[in-house]
Structures are given as C-alpha cells and as structure tokens.
Structure 1
Amino acid sequence: MHPILQELAEAGLKQLLKTVPLPITVPEPLVRAEGPVTDTELRGRTAFVTRLRDDVDAAVAARLWAEGASLFVLDPIADRERLAPLERPGVPGATVRHAPVGLDDADALATAIAEHAAGGSHPLVLVHRYRPRRHETLEDAAAIEAALDELYAVGHAAARALPPSSRVLFVTEPHELPEDAVAETAGEALGAYVRSLAKELGRKGTTVNIVESAGAAPERVGATVAYLASARSAFVSASRWPLSPDDEPKEPAQPGRGQPRRLLEGKVALVTGGARGIGAAIAHTLALEGAAVALNDLPRSEPGAAEVLRRIRAAGGRAIFCPADVASREGAAELAAAIEREFGHLDVIVNNAGITRDRTIRKMTPERWREAVRVNLLSQLYVTEALEPQLRSGARVIGLSSVSGIAGNFGQTNYAAAKAGVVGWTRHLARRLGPKGIAVSAIAPGFIRTVLTARMPWIHREMAKQMTALAQPGEPQDIADVVRFLAGPDGAAVRGAVLRVDGAMAIGA
C-alpha cells in the first residue's frame, strides 16, 4: 500500500475527510538512486538539449553523453564541429542524434520529444540554454517577447511530452550589464517561471531547476547539469544553483565504464549532529565515497552513533565517534583536538547539528531562545573557527540552514532567526575562505521525513506535504546526496550559495 494511503487508513479515513479542508494528492513515487556514485549515472536516460553553439553548450552535452545518456541535439543551427566529438563510441547503448527543431513552434517541439522518446521507460531530461540579450536588430520589447516565447515553448513541450520523474533544466548567466534591459527583464522572468513550472509538473515527480554560471568553467556547468539530471536530485526542484570560477583541476568528460567514482577517496570529513536522521545519512554517504568520517554528536547520543559507525564499517568504511557539545567553544575545541589526533587534517566540514525549541515568542523563555541560537547557528561558527587551521586547500565547508530561515515559520522565531543567520554566515565565510581555495555553501532543507517530523500530528504532516510541488516529504538521503555533490570535485564551483532542497515548497518562494 502506498505510504500516504496507509496513513489515511491508520488515522481513520472517514473522520479525516470531515476535517481536512485541502484536496489530498497521491504523489508520484520519486525515482532515487542508491549506493556510491558511478561514472554512468545517466545510463538509460534520454537527454534533449536545445542549443549547441559554444563551449558551455558543448560541455553540457558532453557530460550528459559521457554519463550514459542518449543525446538529442534539437538546435537547428548546431555547431557541427562541437557535435562531432560526441559521435565517437561512448557508453554502450548511448546514442547521439541531431534532430533539428526550433523553439518557434512549441507544439512541434513537444511532438519531436514525444516521438524520439517513444517506447522508452526511463525519465527524460530537457536542457535549455537561456541567454536573453539585447538584440542587434530587434527593439527591446520584441527581444524580451522572443526570450519569453522560448520559455513558453520549453514549458509547453515539457508538460505535454515528458513522462513522470523527468528533469527540466535551464542554464543561464546572471545579467551583468545594467544597460541591457532585455537581459535584466527576461532574466528576472526566469525565476518566477521556473517556480511556477515546478509546481505544475511536480505532481508527476518532475523537477525544474536553474544552473546559473557567473564565469564558472564549462566543465563545472556540465557536471552540475548532469547531477541535477540524475536520480540523485529527486527532491531538488525550483532551485537556483549559482556557479563561480574555481582553481581546482578540471577533467574533460570521458565516457564512463559503470565504475564507482569514489569521489572522496583519501579525504577526511566531519559531520556534526551525525548520530541520527539527516546527519547519519550524510555520514554514511560520505563514507561510501571513500571519506574517513569523524561523527560528532552529544555524549548521550552514543547508542545512535554506534549504529551509524556499524553501518559504515560493515560497508568497508572508516569512521570514529567524537562526542562533544559543539554549541560551545570548549566543545568545538575538544572536537578539533580529537580530529587532529586521529587524522591530522580535515577536508570536509558538514555543520549539521540542529534542534527545535518551538514556542510562540510570547511564551518562549530566554533559555529556549538561546539554546536554539547556540545549537543551530553559533555551533557552526565555533566548529569552523576551531577546525579552520586543519582545512587543506580544496576543502569544503557545508552548513545546514532551513526553508524556515528563508521564509520564517509560526512558532519558530528562534529557529528561523538562527537558520537565517546561517545564510549570512555562509556568504561571509565563502568570501573569507575562498582565497584559500576553500568552497563554502549551505543547504536549506524543506519538509524531510525524520523521527522528529514523524511525531507531528497527521494533519500537520499532510499539510506540509501538500505545500511541496512533489506532494511528499523528502528523505534524509536527499540532503545527503546534495552534500555528496558539494563535497566532491564537481562541487568546487558552488561558493557562497544557499541551495534549497525542499521539493519546490510553496513557502518562501
């Protein structure tokens, strides 16, 4: 039985239908991937790209092809020289075809996608390079209309032709020239359009996202598109992924062989709040990629930590438990000393420790306020301060914020303020550590299925689900998968960004 129907049965369907004011949508089960990341994450999928004219277009197409996707290049004026390298032998079963269809006819685009995908059982990927710019021959109003017509064509085709659990991705650049009215106007339109399209397609399990390159290497753009096209990003939707330049090594896309990539081989990672829930999933996932893991939580959490360590070691990984209260400088210093004794250095910090101490502010005591602030925000400052000397060039610092920190939430003034503080701290730290070769970013989860959320009244859980475009909660693994990407080599260009992982939640949109 589907989980939501099971909940309905357990709660008493007739009584619930008398009290629930909202329509209940049975969601499309999300297609997720398990185990370590391989070099053929897109094997069996078909990807459509609407443009192939420059280095970024070529890098996106090459990475999709290298990871095993069959590729259809729809651009009527595609650069044949950029298409040629993709026509050599690649992943078995993956093909490349030039199937020219313009964006001036939305119905023709939808028909072409449906025809080329006929008979396939896998989700599809549709990638559009969106580059609105002032036109040499068109007046601004006409150029803006043409740019928005592209959005209509892509969205219309996606709604008509894509099967469940597909991916729609827009690759764009920030509008940098203040005198370019077309870029600024049509560029701003993209954000609200993507949030709206994500809501329309979400009930089918399809996600819609933006990759925004501010001078990032084309290889990084291609890697980010490939990640968001994969089953590892099932709960990421209506999210903007800004990319920046970086100095870390970049590898051209080569056809995969179905082998694990071992993204974090030889690295050392710290996960705070790692004894259960999201933290446990993160620790296990990083260990699967080859990282030695320092698992931190309060001393009383040792039984939960022991189970996480058992799972990691059973899979051949290395992990230790470092009990400490990181909501104090003293606790963070104890943690830093333990990591230095055991490992001597650190490559990844995941500041995951968090609590809720919900009350309306009228009823909230100073103690509850300060406890939420210290654990959710100040712990990130203390941990990073204590461990910064151990971070090597190429390291990552990843913080956990929350959608509540972006949108606020009733009864959570303390939690929301602290998680919003994480956003500001992330941006500050990214600027400070960037020159040292350290990439800093944050994740803002939405409604995630954990032990804590399972204690919520059924109606509250159901309302939270219905507020997401995907009509269901995320899983701890959804957050762990994003952390894995950010911690690995392909995450080097994500700097100072706060990435929403909330299934296109309505709040804070």
Structure 2
Amino acid sequence: MSDPYGAFVRTPAGKFLASRAGLPRPPRLRRYVADEEWAFDPAAVLGLRGAVWVDDVSGWLREGGFAVERDAERLSTLVLDATGLRSVTDLGELLTVSASFRRTRGRVLVVAAVPGELDDPEARAVQQGVDGFVRSLAKEARGGTTVNLVRVAAGARTSLRSAVEFFCSTRSAFVDGQPIVVGPGVPVPSRERPVAAVTGAAQGIGAAIADVLARTGHHVVCVDIAASGEKLAAVANRVKGSTLHLDVTAETAPRTLATHLADRFDGADVVVHNAGITRDRSFVNVDEEAWNSVLAVNLLAPVRLTTELLDHPGALAPGARFVYLSSINGLAGAKGQTNYATSKAGLVGLVQALAEPLAQRGLAANAVAPGFIETPMTAAMPPVPRELGRRIASLQQGGLPIDVAEAVGWLAQRDAAGIDGQVLRVCGQSLLGA
C-alpha cells in the first residue's frame, strides 16, 4: 500500500507546507535494488579509547566497495568502535564523533562489548550506557540515517563481519535504534543450492521473504494453505522454487513438512515460520474461536513444526537456521490484540528457549519483530490508527515487506552463525516498546 502523505511531503509544495506547519517529513529511504549501482559517499571508521576492530572493519568495508576516508566532507557510513570504553570518563570519547555524525547521511553503526562479559561494575555500566547513547542518537538522525548497535562477544570475528555488512548496507533501511549481540558461532559450509522453507509464502511478507532467499541462492519451498494455491504458485514460479500446500494447524502438518524436506531435499538449511493471522477485538469481546485460532496458527504451529523437524531424521541440513516472525506488538502489547500479542510474545520465548540446545547441535534460532509494515492487513486499518502507526517511528513512515525480508535473509545466512537467540526489530525505531 502507498503512503499518500509521505509522497505529498516529498513534493516541493508538500515540503514547503510541512515545513511551515511543523508536520512530519518522512525521508525517502535508500533500499537495496538488484543490479542498481548507488553512488556512495565514503565511509569512516573511528576508534574510541581501547578500540579493537578498526582495522578489521575498515578492511571489510573496502572489500565491499567503500572508500574509507575518515575526514571526507560527506559520509554515507560511520562506524564507531566503542568496545574499549571502561570508565565513565571514557564516555567523553563519544563527544569526539559529533562532527562526523553531522556529516553522515546513511548508516551509523556502533560496535561495543557485551556488558555481561565484564566483571568490573563501572565497565559494565559504561558499556550498558552505550545502549542509551545509540537509541537516543537514532532519534536525532535525519534524512533516513539509521543508528544501530552490535555487541561483540569473545571469538565473534566471522559473524561480526556479517553484521557489519548488513547494518552498513541498504538492506537494513528500516532497522533503526536496535542492539544485537554477535557470538562466536562456527559457520557450516553451505550447499551448492541451500533449501529454505517459508510458511505463509503466498503473499505479503512471506512472498517478499521468498524473493530475498531466492536472490541469495536458496531453493525456496513455498508453504501455504491450498486455498492460496494460485498465489502460491505465482510466487514459487517467480523465485524458481516449489510449492507445498499445507495447513500448519493440521494434526499431520509437522510430519508432512518434515518428510517432504527430508525426502525431497535432504533437509532444509533455513526454516522461516512466517504464517500468521489476526482476529482483533477488545479482550472482553474475544470469544474462544478468535483466541484459539490465533494461538493455533501463530504459536502452536511453530512449536509443533519445530519439534518435529528437530526430531525427524534428515529434515534439517547441518547448521540449519530457524527464523520466527514475531511483532513489536508482542513486545509492547497492543489494544485489541491480546490474542495476537500473546502469540507473538510466545515466539520470543520459544527462540530464547531453543537458543542454547540448538547451539549445541550447531543450529540456531532467531526472531524478527516487524513494526508497522505496509501490507494488506495494515491497509484494512481505520485511517487514523493507520496514519499514527506510520508516524510513531524515528523514520516517520511504515516499512515495506522487503524490509522484513532483508532481515530474515541476513539471519538465514551461514556467516551469521553467531547470531543466536536474538530478536531483531524491523520497525524504523518505533516509539512503542523497548
């Protein structure tokens, strides 16, 4: 769905009126477009006191096609290495990057330590303080610039590179003000054409996820109900994948999916639990059908499917990764969505519970929590709540299905093996929730 207001304020007349009236002026976001070359300004990598990663990050950006020029007049990317900050006095180092931040229009990434790995109370407090710095800086950024935080655990070099490349790229256009922890996961060599199964793939976010996974070389098994067969076939044909008609709530669904993946593909490398429904109404008006149907599709089905895939011989390839579609409404709650928020919060709990046992098997599970995304579901909202949903974010607009799909595509990569048990919000730094 289009954003008429956002389009209007980008016109000369709209820009003038919005400026005079003090109205929101959502910037045009620079997203990834296949085969399209962007003219990037240089990147700068600044090391604060005790920096560790300056040389590595600079090298990765150069290999990615960036010119790394610390004193360039305009910057498209700014990376701050704050891993060595240990005292309250050290936090003053953050002030030294003010001029560079002012010159940046694009991506700002702060690299920091994991507070829980530090024994000294002051050092731990200082590193936690960086979180508040990043979230506040993201709210001050202009022109579609995003600010994010990557915390580096011991031994996380390979996965850190993957995170740097994602957060400094156009693929992270709607990820803003978010922290993520990178651990030392060991990547498993990928197959020549890895296999990804995506539930709810017939339309919207699921179809966009199929597109991105196909773009990154996956054979996509597009899973959805038989009633969506025509749309599902269109998606599968577009991505040169295959279809599986499946009601994820059916008693036989777990065994059907597991057998299909094991027998036809020697296991899935990626499983994306995207299928979801809403039955919105105030809690006092929620009946048993509305409650049970949402919980069955959004939470019980992923639990049952995951359990069977983990137990069924050959259903998963070595190093397989699970990605679950949660929601910021599961993190912050939402009026009229007690059933939906319960189910989406439950997926976060599932990811957290799976992280350690899956890591012991060389597998991983993460969640993506979208904010307001322009989909048929949000298009059906009343006009005022819909407009509020767009504007209550630092980027002052709704995201697109491709924004969610890009995050899923990153978490599906084998070189993101150190990302495990994480919840990545794709919300333009929505003011709702943490």
Check whether TM > 0.5. Answer: yes
Match of 1:161 in 2: 103
Q: What's the CA shift for 1:269?
A: 0.6
Tell me, yes or no, if the aligned pair for 1:373 and 1:415 is still in contact at 8 Å.
yes
Distance 2:351 2:301 in 1: 13
Match of 1:183 in 2: 123
Tell me, yes or no, if the aligned pair for 2:202 and 2:231 is still in contact at 8 Å.
yes
* Structure 2 residue matching 1:50: 3-state secondary structure: strand
Distance 1:126 1:292 in 2: 35
Tell me, yes or no, if the aligned pair for 2:327 and 2:368 is still in contact at 8 Å.
yes
Match of 1:84 in 2: none
Match of 1:367 in 2: 289
Which of the numbers 27, 50, 57 marks the counterpart of 2:54? 57
| Residue 439 (1) aligns with residue 378 (2) | no
Q: Which amino acid aligns with 2:88?
A: I
Q: Give the TM-score normalised by structure 1.
A: 0.77
Q: Which amino acid aligns with 2:93?
A: E
* Structure 2 residue matching 1:362: 3-state secondary structure: helix
Tell me, yes or no, if the aligned pair for 2:391 and 2:398 is still in contact at 8 Å.
no
User: How many equivalent pairs are there?
Assistant: 419
Distance 1:325 1:213 in 2: 40
Match of 1:152 in 2: 95
Q: Which amino acid aligns with 1:196?
A: S
Q: Which amino acid aligns with 2:76?
A: L
Q: Which amino acid aligns with 2:28?
A: P
Q: Which amino acid aligns with 2:412?
A: A
Tell me, yes or no, if the aligned pair for 2:366 and 2:423 is still in contact at 8 Å.
yes
Q: What's the CA shift for 1:230?
A: 0.6
Q: Deviations over 1:175-200 (max 9, x none)?
A: 24665132222222222221121111
Q: What's the CA shift for 1:46?
A: 1.4
- Give the alignment of 1:39-438 within 5 angstroms: 44-51=40-47, 56-73=53-70, 112=71, 116-118=72-74, 124-134=76-86, 143-147=87-91, 149-154=92-97, 156-163=98-105, 166-176=106-116, 179-201=119-141, 203-248=142-187, 265-312=192-239, 317=240, 319-388=241-310, 389=312, 390-438=315-363
Q: Which runs of 5+ in 1 are unaligned?
A: 10-16, 74-111, 135-142, 251-262
Match of 2:14 in 1: none
| Residue 475 (1) aligns with residue 400 (2) | yes
Distance 1:452 1:276 in 2: 11
Distance 2:281 2:81 in 1: 46
Q: Give the TM-score normalised by structure 2.
A: 0.90
Q: CA RMSD in A?
A: 2.5
Stretch moving more, 181-190 or 402-411: 181-190
Tell me, yes or no, if the aligned pair for 2:173 and 2:403 is still in contact at 8 Å.
yes
Distance 1:57 1:219 in 2: 15
Which of the numbers 465, 476, 481 marks the counterpart of 2:390? 465
Q: CA 1:265/1:31 → structure 2, altered by over 3 Å: closer, same or farther?
A: farther
* Structure 2 residue matching 1:282: 3-state secondary structure: helix
Q: Report the identity percentage.
A: 37
Q: What's the CA shift for 1:24?
A: 3.7
Q: Which amino acid aligns with 1:130?
A: A
Match of 2:27 in 1: 28
Stretch moving more, 378-387 or 344-353: 378-387
* Structure 1 residue matching 2:65: 3-state secondary structure: coil
Q: Deviations over 1:82-101 (max 9, x none)?
A: xxxxxxxxxxxxxxxxxxxx
Distance 2:117 2:150 in 1: 19
Distance 1:227 1:62 in 2: 15
Distance 1:333 1:35 in 2: 37
Distance 2:44 2:353 in 1: 38
Tell me, yes or no, if the aligned pair for 2:188 and 2:318 is still in contact at 8 Å.
no
Q: What's the CA shift for 1:229?
A: 0.5
* Structure 2 residue matching 1:456: 3-state secondary structure: coil
Match of 1:91 in 2: none
Say which one has the larger Rg.
1
Q: What's the CA shift for 1:45?
A: 4.0
